[in-house]
Amino acid sequence: MFNGIDGTLIGFFTALALFAAVAGSILWFTVRTGSSPTPSGPALRRAILAAVAEAEANAPPGPIIEIGGGWGGLARALHHRFPHRPVVVFEPSWAPYWVSRLLSPRSAANRPRFKNRAVRSEDLAAGAVAVAYLAPETMKRLAPLFHALPPGAAVVSAMFAIPGWTPGMTLTADDLYKSPVYLYRT
């Protein structure tokens, strides 16, 4: 007992406050960035990895940059599939950022590097492949940043095309929605 309040009740209200803080943070960053932290399903993730493999084969040296890393599932898949390339992940929302970091491999020397902020053009200047699974308006805002990628680099966009750009290749995920994955070369 703590001043007449049962410990279970304190635990309940603590958990409720933590849940409200996490949900509020996710809502705030969703409104602010225009994209929610949406996990990619297994079929969509396979299509993204296939597009990155196609892009990465002819890309210049440099990291794979994931823009809007969400909960980190794609970042871990990128790390496992392309261990010879660094993976850099930008996620401005603190709750998914910390979950991603906690679930990231600890022992790998070249594990994904997570940055708790939005991507900037100078971040893309050394990138080999930029990967994004973001809402259409967010992709439209990011389009000018992609011009900072070096010649020969690529952009892989899941579900949503980059307005005004023509993809060099479009893959289709074997999921319920037949989700498109677009591959652009700079």
Query: What confidence tens digit (pLDDT) does each residue in 26-81 have?
Result: 777 667 777 677 778 999 999 999 999 999 999 999 999 999 999 999 999 999 99
**H or E element in which residue 132 lies:** strand 129-132
Q: Does one domain contain both 24 and 110? A: no
**What's the pTM?**
0.86
Whether pLDDT at 123 is above 60: yes
Q: Domain range holding 28? A: 1-33
Q: Does one domain contain both 129 and 154? A: yes
For residue 144, the domain's CATH number is 3.40.50.150
H helices of 34-183, where? 42-56, 73-81, 94-103, 121-124, 136-146
How many domains does the chain fold into?
2
Half-sphere exposure of 142 (CA within 13 A, CB side): 30
Q: Does one domain contain both 27 and 82? A: no
Q: Does one domain contain both 69 and 1? A: no
Q: Does one domain contain both 50 and 14? A: no
Name the DSSP letter for residue 185. E
Give yes or no for a contact between 62 and 150, defined as CB atoms under 8 angstroms apart.
Answer: yes
